[in-house]
């Protein structure tokens, strides 16, 4: 059984016949729909950002998650009895005969006490440049496992964070797309990041209405 940490985009492409494309309808649906932020949300995000700007080059991964990423997701309220935001929960699956298992930094999944069907995978790195591991590959392999647990033709979403930069991914069948540039959470793009995450919540809520 291989681990999530062992996979890179190149290894995934070769092993599972994946193809990276410039964009996908699901990625455009996630990133192009503009959610309106309230004054309260903008105020809270600005407070978080003040601390982020001061500490981003000093925090380790856990501190980045504790002081910034966690509060951002808490503001979105991805926690109810239908689905929940889980951290470092076991995610396992068999893809084309390959058993893969690991503990992704975060997943949004159906389920209250235990994750059942994942819809979104989060992978975070403290360093913006790190020779040890491929955060995009580790996020994508978690999405592949999630794909095997969902209904066929269900688009899957993910995000990996490298320091101040956020990158979003969508997976449709054997094709995946990553946002061309990262969104800088130390700039006004933080509001764009939050808008995208609000849209993600809207997409997940629609799944429960189908």
pTM of this structure: 0.95
| Cα–Cα distance list, 179 to 139, 158, 200 (Å) | 14, 11, 15
Q: Do 144 and 12 contact (CB within 8 A), yes or no?
A: yes
Query: What are the start-end ranges of the E strands in 11-96?
Result: 19-20, 83-86, 91-95
Other Cβ atoms closer than 10 A to 51: 13
CB burial readout 142-173, b (16+ within 10 A) else e: bbbbbbebeeeebbbbbbbbbbbbbbbbbbbe
Other Cβ atoms closer than 10 A to 117: 15
| Cα–Cα distance list, 170 to 3, 101, 132, 141, 179 (Å) | 21, 20, 24, 12, 9
Environment class of 115 (CB within 10 Å of its CB; exposed 0-12, middle 13-18, buried 19+):
buried
CA 28, CA 46: separation in Å to the nearest integer? 26
CA 97, CA 17: separation in Å to the nearest integer? 14
pLDDT digits (tens, 9 = 90+) for 155-183: 999 999 999 999 999 999 999 999 998 99
- Could you say which residues of the chain have pLDDT below 50? none
Q: What are phi and psi of 139, to 5 degrees?
A: -70, -45
pLDDT value of residue 132: 61
pLDDT value of residue 171: 98
Q: Which two tokens stand for residue 115?
A: 């994750």
Q: Which two tokens stand for residue 131?
A: 């020779």
The CATH code belonging to domain 2-207 is 3.90.1570
pLDDT value of residue 208: 83
**Closest C-alpha to 143, from 30, 25, 7:** 7
């Amino acid at each position: 059984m291989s681990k999530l940490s062992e996979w890179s985009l190149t290894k995934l492409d070769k092993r599972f016949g994946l193809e990276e494309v410039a964009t996908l309808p699901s990625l455009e649906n996630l990133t192009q729909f503009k959610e309106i932020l309230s004054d309260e949300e903008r105020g809270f995000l600005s407070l978080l950002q003040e601390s982020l700007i001061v500490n981003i080059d000093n925090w380790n991964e856990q501190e980045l998650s504790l002081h910034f990423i966690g509060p951002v997701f808490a503001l979105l309220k991805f926690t109810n009895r239908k689905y929940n935001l889980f951290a470092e929960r076991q995610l396992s699956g068999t893809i084309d005969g390959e058993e893969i298992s690991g503990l992704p930094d975060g997943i949004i999944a159906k389920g209250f006490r235990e994750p059942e069907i994942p819809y979104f995978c989060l992978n975070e790195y403290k360093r913006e440049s790190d020779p040890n591991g491929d955060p995009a590959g580790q996020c994508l392999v978690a999405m592949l496992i999630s794909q095997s647990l969902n209904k066929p033709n269900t688009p899957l979403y993910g995000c990996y964070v490298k320091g101040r930069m956020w990158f979003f991914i969508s997976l449709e069948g054997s094709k995946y797309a990553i946002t061309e540039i990262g969104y800088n959470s130390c700039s006004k793009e933080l509001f764009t990041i939050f808008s995208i995450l609000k849209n993600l919540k809207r997409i997940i809520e629609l799944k429960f209405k189908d």
